[in-house]
Amino acid sequence: MECETLLKFIELFSEHLRNLKNYIDVESVEKMIEAIDSSKAIFVIGAGRSGYIAKAFAMRLMHLGYTVYVIGETVTPRITKEDVLIAISGSGETLSVVNISKKAKDVIGSRLIAVTGNANSTLAKIADIVVLVRGKVKTMRDNAISKLAPLGTMFELTTMVFLDALISELMYRKKLTEKDLEARHAVLE
C-alpha cells in the first residue's frame, strides 16, 4: 500500500484528537479565558515548534482585538503586572521558557498560564493556571506514536487544535464574525 505510514499517522492523530474533549479541564480553560479577558496585554512564549504554535495563537488573539505580543520579537514591550504570559511547552522544562516565565511571575508580578503536557513540570508548578494538553499517552497502541509522531509532534498539533478551539470560544463570547477578524488581518503580505 502506498503512503501507508502517512495514512497510519492520520489515523493515529484522528484518534488522539477525538479524545481531546475528554481530558481538557474546562475549569482551567475558563480560568485561562478570564485571565486573557482581564489582562491589559497578553504575552506568549514557546521555543522551537511550540514557539510557532505560540505565534499562531498570538496572531489569532490579535485578530480578535486583543493586545498581544510574542516574547523575543524586537517590537515586544516590557511586560507588567497587569499582563498575562502564556507559556507553551510540552515538557514544561524548556529552560528558556521556564526562566522567562519565572521572571515574569516572580520579578514582574505578571500572571502565568502554562499550556503543557506535564502537570509535574517546573513550568506547571510555578504557573497560576495550568492547561494540560496531552501529547504522547500510554494508551496509544503498540508504541505507534513514537514511530509515527516522534518527539513533540502530538503535543504541538494537539495544542494548535486546542488553541484554535479556544479562539472559536472567545470569538463566540465576544460576538465577533469572520468579517470582524478580517478587518484586523494583514494585507501587506
Residues identified as active-site: 156
Backbone torsions φ then ψ of 88, nearest 5 degrees: -115, 120
Compute the chain's Rg from CA coordinates.
Answer: 17
What cell numbers appear for 3 in the block?
503512503
Nearest to 167 by CA among 56, 71, 70, 89: 56
Backbone torsions φ then ψ of 78, nearest 5 degrees: -70, 135
CB 64 within 8 A of CB 174: yes
Distance CA 96, CA 99 (A): 5
